[in-house]
Structure 1
Amino acid sequence: MVRLGNSELNVQINPQGGCLMAATFCGKPFLKPAPVGCFPLVPFGNRVAGNQFRFRNQTHVLKPNTKDDPLYLHGDGWLAPWLVVEESQTHVRLAYEHQASHQSPYSYRAVQIVSINGNTLNLGLSVENRGEIALPFGLGFHPFFPRTPQTRLRAPARLFWSEKTGHLPDTAGPVPDDLNFAAFNHLPDRWVNNAFAGWDGTAQIDWPEARMTAAISGDALFPHYVIYAPEDQIDFFCFEPMSHLPNGHNLPELGKLTILKPGDKLSGGITLRIDEMRD
């Protein structure tokens, strides 16, 4: 376990999966504690319908990578060991290399940087296509946040995607009232697993019971996010900045996935600034 710490923030990172296992502000958790608080999404996030996609006249097949989901899920990085390349009290750089196999056509090198500065947590992620062909790539982060009865979220978006069988996006339309986070709103008391598009890259989470707030900002690479809040586990929710839509491989314009030729790179990051809530 790698530990970063200063007078305000303490973060624990597990090189297995490149996962943040715990993160606290003045002793109060702002990520849901282990088993996982946040993990990287690389070489793309979420699922691909039918475990296959067609790109440049070639069909590429994926194989399930977990026991619980029939679809290849969230890429490879979250399930694999990362190498600690640099480490200090406030900064760690991790690297992961993946070779194409029967499970995935992707060959790449990913680098994740986690750093703290005062009350700010910075997460950076990059990927380089080290394969022999061009493929569509994407990046994202999958943080699990504590959820309390008074937790509220603000995260403006223009479009909402309904969910269909297989936890895949169905159709795009206006954002429904109970999931409209243009202004602060509470999460509804129901199953939520939806993609949003047209995010402006700013969000805020308030935890009034803990007198704590998190201001989130994402690079321009991340115009989408997914909210996951299962109705049978009400102690957390996920707010997942992503460069692309789930199942982008099978959507128009590749759902904003980025085509990387061999040797091309893609990078982006998010920051979380944690503060005490003001009256």
Structure 2
Amino acid sequence: MTSPRSNGERTLRSSDLTVRVSPVGGAILSADYRGTPFLVAAGGPDASLASFPLVPFGNRIEHNRMTVGGRDYRFAPNSSDPLYLHGDGWLAEWDIEVMSEDHLQMSFEKAADECSPYAYRAQHTIRVAENELHLALSVENLGRDPFPFGLGQHPFFPRTPDTILKASAQAYWSEREGHLPDRRQSIPNGLDFRDGALLPSQWVNNAFEGWDGKAAIAWPELGMRLLLEADPLFNVGMIYMPIDRTDFFCFEPMSHLPNGYNLPDLGLPDLGGLRLLARGERMTGEMRFRLSPA
């Protein structure tokens, strides 16, 4: 077993990968392939997280409210954003259940409170094996009534001038005020990564619907390539590229559209992919990052 660090950090190692993990946020702090970072610290409240789990949903809730089963539920902001953001997992202290040199399993349990009406238990498993990083995330509804749940991961990848992204999706959602999705549209030419393309030099914060669960990232300057494969549960890819920082970008596999609670009027009666889980019901999904020389 790997001995814990005084600040709670753990390090997982395989022949090619070194991954630093923290129970704070259930997050990855850094991830290197043969000494070269393929995840970089840029997220979280203090920009120290390189990847974190999205649970019990990802992104924002419009007006900090939702209606489920005819009942209205309210949220309170949980970060500097005025809208409740990314659920609870990324801000919580997770309990380490299993730990070895190449494997870590954490859990987090939450009761309904003044900030969020959700009650659930989440489990996050991080594993390295030779040149692969595996992330498995699950959530179980502990509430009395059926509730809508979603899962995702929020990795921060290095961004270089020659970074190439390849990912295939069926539709694109434009962005409106509050960083919320606006309308389903055809994918714009500048954001069409189906055949592989350089990252554009512009603000991007959009959901790509009907993602096929595969993505490839190549960094010619770093001599490195990454293949991402996700379970069918994750059929939305969220791309985030800020303009105030050009050293990273995000490709976030999600099981649902952002703000799915408030999209029924747009022809999405299924809550944008969010799943109603009865008490004791569970959903889980896994994704794999495979690294290789470019």
Write the letter of the residue equivalent to 1:274: L
Q: Is the partner of 1:30 in helix, strand or coil?
A: strand
User: In structure 2, which of residues 54, 62, 85 is the aligned counterpart of residue 49 of structure 1?
Assistant: 62
The Cα of 1:159 is off from its aligned counterpart by: 0.3
Partners of 1:214 and 1:274 within 8 A in 2: yes
Q: Deviations over 1:88-118 (max 9, x none)?
A: 0000000000110011110000000000111
Instruction: Verify: 1:212 aligned to 2:224, yes or no.
Output: yes
Match of 1:133 among 142, 145, 159: 145
Residue 133 of structure 1 aligns to a residue in which SS?
coil
Question: Is the 8 Å Cα contact of residues 207 and 239 (structure 2) preserved in structure 1?
Answer: yes
Secondary structure of the residue aligned to 1:255 is helix
RMSD of Structure 2 on Structure 1 (CA): 0.7
Q: Does the 8 Å contact 2:226/2:291 carry over to 1?
A: yes
SS at the partner of 1:210? coil
Unaligned runs of 5+ in 1: none
Aligned to 1:149: 161
Task: Give the one of 209, 220, 231 matched to 2:243.
Answer: 231
Query: Is the 8 Å Cα contact of residues 55 and 139 (structure 2) preserved in structure 1?
Result: yes
1:23/1:33 contact within 8 Å kept: no
Partner Cα separation in structure 1 for residue 193 and residue 262 of structure 2: 27
Query: Are 2:78 and 1:65 equivalent residues in the alignment?
Result: yes
Aligned position for 1:255: 272
Q: Return the alpha-carbon distance in structure 2 between the equivalents of residues 168 and 123 of structure 1.
A: 27
Counterpart CA distance in 2 for 1:239 and 1:20 is: 15
Residue 102 of structure 1 pairs with residue 114 of structure 2? yes
Mind listing any 5+ residue stretches in structure 2 that lack a counterpart? Answer: 1-8, 43-47
Partner of 1:170: 182
Counterpart position of 2:35: 27
Residue 45 (structure 2) aligns with: none
8 A Cα contact 2:15 2:129, kept in partner = no
Question: Which 4+ runs in 1 deviate beyond 2 A?
Answer: none
Normalising by the residue count of structure 1, what TM-score does the alignment of the two structures yield?
Answer: 0.98
1:119 aligns with 2:131: yes
Instruction: Render the CA deviation track for 1:12-71: whole Å, top value 9, x for unaligned.
Output: 0010000100000000000013611000000000001100011111011111001x2000
SS at match of 1:65: coil
TM-score (norm 2): 0.93
Q: CA deviation at 1:186?
A: 1.2
CA distance in 2, matches of 1:259, 1:238: 27
> Does the residue aligned with 1:249 lie in a helix, a strand or coil?
helix
Equivalent residue of 2:39, what SS?
Answer: coil
The yes-or-no answer on 1:38 pairing with 2:51 is yes
Equivalent of 1:201 in 206, 213, 222: 213
Query: Do the aligned residues in 2 keep the contact of 1:61 with 1:104 (CA within 8 Å)?
Result: yes
**Alignment length, in residue pairs?**
276
TM superposition shift of 1:211: 0.6
Matched AA of 1:264: E
